[in-house]
């Protein structure tokens, strides 16, 4: 298939041609990949947050402090 883009509609047409067991297996694979992608995003954001704390690029305070900062 190479690196060329495939439309979602084309993919769905191929999926429709699979038997039900293969469709269920594909669903499991996609579900696991989505979980992994979300986990990777969380890890990346956590590392960035820790780096921001280390560099003192964030503040802490109460909700009242936050609202005061947001309202100027």
Residue 13 located in a structural domain:
no
Burial of 17 (0-12, 13-18, 19+ CB in 10 A): exposed
Residue 24 located in a structural domain:
yes
Tokens representing residue 2 in the block: 């190479």
Q: Considering the chain, what percentage of its residues have pLDDT values greater than 70?
A: 96
Say whether pTM exceeds 0.85.
no
DSSP string, 29-53: HHHHHHHHHHHHHHHHHHHHHHHHH
> pLDDT class for 15, splitting at 50, 70, 90?
very high
Q: How many domains does the chain have?
A: 1
Residue 60 located in a structural domain:
yes
Mean pLDDT of 44-57: 95
Residue 10 located in a structural domain:
no
Residue 30 located in a structural domain:
yes
Range of the domain at 42: 19-70
């Amino acid at each position: 298939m190479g690196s060329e883009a495939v439309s979602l509609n084309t993919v769905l047409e191929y999926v429709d041609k699979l038997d039900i067991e293969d469709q269920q297996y594909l669903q499991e694979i996609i579900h696991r990949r989505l979980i992994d992608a979300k986990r990777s995003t969380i890890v990346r954001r956590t590392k960035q947050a820790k780096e921001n704390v280390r560099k003192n690029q964030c503040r802490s305070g109460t909700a009242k402090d936050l609202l005061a900062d947001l309202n100027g």
